[in-house]
Amino acid sequence: MPSKPVTKCLRDKLNERSLGICEICGIAPATNWHHRKNRSQGGGNELSNAMHLCGSGTTGCHGRVTENPAEAYHFGWSVRSGHVPAVVPCWIGWRWVFLRDDGTVEER
């Protein structure tokens, strides 16, 4: 089943959650949608599977996730194949949270 597209509404909700700031470093402007579980592994465009990060796949925090997979899995910034992003906690804003599809976060 194909993933739903990244609509303007989804982008707006992600930006609302992040306040336009990278969800890892909390400093730089967020410029990229990062899929916690790769689309090639069945990850979709749901907000529980999305993080708003600075940089690209090779720079900033987005590059950090790409270049440091063990760290990314440890902090929930990446989700392994076979796992459901909504139930994998994620370290953002200096705390552990669950990312929800409605754009909210729930404390772990």
DSSP 14-77: HHHHHTTB-TTTSSSBP-EEEESS-GGGT--S-GGGEEEESS-SSSHHHHHHHH-HHHHHHTTS
Q: Give the residue ranges of the chain where pLDDT is below 70.
A: 1-3
Give the C-alpha separation, 49 to 38, whole Å: 9
Cβ contact 24:30 at 8 Å: no
* pLDDT value of residue 57: 84
Q: What predicted TM-score, i.e. pTM, was given to this entire model?
A: 0.92
Locus of tokens 């459901």: 84
